[in-house]
Amino acid sequence: MKRLSQINEKIEQSISQIISKTSEQVWFQTLKSRFEELDPKLQKNIQLIVTVAVPGIFILFFLSWGIQVSSIQSQYHERKNLLKEINQASLEMNSLRSSTSNAATSASTGSEKWSEFFKSSAQKSSIQDSQLKVTTIGQGKTSEETEESLYELEAEKVNIKQITQFAFLLENSAEPVKVRNLFVQTLDNQGYLSGKLWISVFDIKKNK
């Protein structure tokens, strides 16, 4: 109620200032003298019209002002909500990037671990790193506890003893490794072979 009273006082002061400044204008003085020269009946009619019209003009002005303020407030809230949604989307995107990065890092670490294991087993079979090519094929079956990864191992310029010993060491190691298939072909008349092994390895799922 006190706030409304203060607003009314400000409006009355503004109107008084407008009337005061208007009455000081030359055009207003001229209009006033012409008005006073009119017939008294016509003066009353004009006064009646002004009495009805002026408040209506002020009412229309304040209604228009109120609509503009309401529109500005609505736009402000819409932009505020939009900014909130953008910030939330940005946080979700950062979280997704972090999860993707962690998953990629984990996969890369697992691949490097198995690659080192394959090379170590190959060296025990007298197969050098330069003779061995390790290729990640992709993911195999996944259970509640383990994840299967598939690899292709290609050994170049080896003999039958080396490739069979390599397969034996992989299959009978302490690591969860299974030799799925073995393919051997002759390279030249010197007895060198090219051998390919398709391997499954199993990693224990980390607790999330």
Class of domain 109-204: alpha beta
To 5 degrees, how large is the angle CA 187–CA 191–CA 193? 45
- Say how far apart CA 103 and CA 111 lie, in whole Å: 12
Q: What is the dihedral of CA 134, 138, 94, 206, to 10 degrees?
A: -90
Query: CB within 8 A of 125, min separation 6: which ones?
Result: 162, 163, 165, 166, 169
Output the tens digit of pLDDT for each of the chain's 208 residues. 555 566 567 666 666 666 666 666 666 567 667 666 667 776 666 666 666 555 655 566 556 666 766 677 777 777 777 777 767 766 666 555 554 444 444 445 668 888 899 999 999 999 999 999 999 888 888 888 888 999 999 999 899 899 999 999 999 988 889 999 999 988 777 778 899 999 999 888 765 5
Q: What pLDDT was estimated at residue 198?
A: 94
Residue linked to tokens 């009273």: 5
Q: What pTM did the predictor assign?
A: 0.46
Any idea where the domains of the chain sit in the sequence? 2-83, 109-204
